[in-house]
Structure 1
Amino acid sequence: MNQPRSVLVTGGNRGIGRAIAEAFLAQGDKVAVTTRNGGAPEGALELKADVTDAASIDAAFKEAEAVNGPVEILVANAGITADTLLLRMSEEDWSSVIDTNLTGSFHVAKRAAKGMLRLKRGRIIFISSVVGLLGSPGQVNYAASKAGLVGMARSLARELGSRNITANVVAPGFVNTDMTAVLTDEQKAEIKNQVPLGRYADPAEIAGAVTWLAADAAAYVTGAVIPVDGGLGMGH
């Protein structure tokens, strides 16, 4: 058994983030999760934090470092949607999604990189979406934020690679979570028809790709976008 590692997952209280936190806990790692509303999985260090606020993220990292040691694996997962068609999309719909999904990921990556550079090792994993590269009507803000993560990860891969720090992206397709539960049965059926595997993902299947990217087996993988989308985004 490897030494337990210090892992931090943003938005780790529900959905994909929670499944990721639970997968690292199951491996025996020391896991801290940030959440705005509480409800971290059992065994994880719960940190109340808002990714849009750099000072709040700094405080969360300090607490995680004090309890679990310097963060070796960062999973930037926190994300929101505010779906609406372009002409109805308000400035707030745009900026809230960009601030959380893209700028929030910048805040946590910047803070994590500080400690990783000192350690001379680290894994940064961004949770994007199939929509980031495929596009989706009514999701101009969300798709832009998720595509931005790819450019961010690839730039960090080049910038930090010489210090043994990798930066990768996992791009989930449609997953059974609270976020997709709001879709109508008609919408759900339509989506399943577009997915070659003909079903939604279980959050644990996304977590499997994340734990692999954090494992020794993926030490030579950086700047990659790993689709976990049932084949929905093929060719992108």
Structure 2
Amino acid sequence: MPYALVMGASGDIGQAVCEKLAEQGWSLYCHYNQQKEKVLNFVSDLQKRYPQQDFFMVSLDMLKEAEIPSFLAQLFQVDGIVFASGFTFYELLPETKADQMEALWQVHLKTPLLLLQELQGKLAKNSNGRVVFIGSVYGHRGSSMETVYSAVKGAQEAFVKAYAKEVATLGITVNVVAPGAVQTRMNDNWDLQELVDLKSAIPLGRLAKPSEIAAACSYLFSQEASYTTGIILPVAGGWMT
């Protein structure tokens, strides 16, 4: 039975990813930082629906490197990892504070790389490891008011292209799913007119559902995707692609 670690399982996309992977027969480590009660209820539901699989809750503040060793100690078998944790700041670059820059870098890139350093051996054990970053179309197109977020998402893409080459002989695939605008809590601060304008700019005329992002991730975790590595897969309704 394969085991996957989903970082950011408390978020809308992370939860949708957990749903899809559970349907595929994966046992899961569901990572959270703050929303313990939400993840507890979610994991309890998964256990009832898929009694032959294992579902664990694992906690880590991705801003605190000192917590990483104790977090890793909870992980035994790991055959796949999805990095779905993340956030952004809507500010012009001169208004962005140094600690905000550091937080974006830490959560979107540094902590994932530190985890991969330690978990690569587990991912390689069955020569069928999977790594997926939930990136953003802003990683290759950029967004004003989110320059640092765009930068770290672009760094995710550059890392994936390089790391995919490095671990290919170990049977590990490494890819990015790059969503466009998704109907998540992260976008709740848009007002009605902003949403209307945004949807009019998207060829398909609507925001993505979290389940549609999860479906792309699910494919990259499948056996059929064993020859797919080092790619950026936009799921953006034709927007900014």
Give the superposition deviation at 1:110.
Answer: 2.0
Whether the 8 Å contact between 2:80 and 2:131 is mirrored in structure 1 is yes
DSSP-derived class of the 1:32 partner: strand
Q: Which residue of 2 aligns with 1:176?
A: 183
Cα deviation code 1:25-46 (max 9, x no counterpart): 2222101111111222223311
2:98 pairs with 1:91:
yes
Q: Are 1:52 and 1:107, in contact at CA under 8 Å, matched by a contact in 2?
A: no
Native 8 Å contact 1:8 1:32 kept in 2 = yes
Counterpart for residue 61 of structure 1: 72
Selected match of 1:49 from 33, 55, 60: 60
**Offset of residue 59 of structure 1:** 2.6
* Alpha-carbon offset, residue 55 of structure 1: 4.4
Query: Where do residues 179-194 of structure 1 align in structure 2 (5 Å cutoff)?
Result: 179-194=186-201
Please name the residue that 1:10 is paired with.
7
Q: Which secondary structure does the structure 1 equivalent of 2:87 belong to? A: coil
Aligned AA (1:6): Y
Alignment check: 8 A CA contact 1:227 1:233 kept: no
Equivalent position SS for 2:145:
coil
Q: C-alpha deviations, 1:85-129, integer Å up to 9, x for none? A: 011111112111111111122122223213123443301101100
TM-score normalised by length of structure 2: 0.89
Q: In the alignment, which residue of structure 1 is the partner of 2:19?
A: 22
SS in 2 for 1:105: helix
Q: State the SS of the aligned residue for 1:132.
A: helix
Answer whether contact 2:3 2:79 (CA < 8 A) is retained: yes
**Share of identical aligned residues, percent?**
28
SS at match of 1:58: helix
Contact 1:123 1:166 in 2 (8 A): yes
Q: After alignment, is 52-61 or 217-226 more displaced?
A: 52-61
Q: What displacement does 1:225 show? A: 0.4
CA deviation profile, 1:21-76 (whole Å, cap 9, x unmatched): 111122221011111112222233111112233443333333131xxxx1101001
| TM superposition score normalised by structure 1 | 0.91
2:33 aligned residue:
36
- Tell me, in whole angstroms, the C-alpha distance in 2 between the residues paired with 1:122 and 1:199: 34
Q: Which residue of 2 aligns with 1:219?
A: 226
Q: Specify the SS of the correspondent of 2:194.
A: helix
1:197-236 matched pairs, under 5 angstroms: 197-234=204-241
State the 1:169 CA deviation. 0.4
Q: Name which of structure 1's ranges 164-173 and 76-85 shifts more when overlaid on structure 2.
A: 76-85
1:76 corresponds to: 83
Q: Secondary structure at the match of 2:153?
A: helix
- Structure 1: state its 5+ residue gaps: none
Amino acid at match of 1:149: Q
2:124 counterpart residue number: 117
Report SS of the residue matched to 2:224.
helix
> Per-residue CA shift, 1:178-225, capped at 9, x if unaligned?
101111111111111111100000000000000100000100000000
AA partner of residue 191 (structure 1): L
Say whether the 8 Å CA contact 1:12–1:21 is kept in structure 2.
Answer: yes
Asked if the contact 1:71–1:115 (Cα under 8 Å) also holds between the matched residues in 2, the reply is yes
Residue type of the partner of 1:217? E
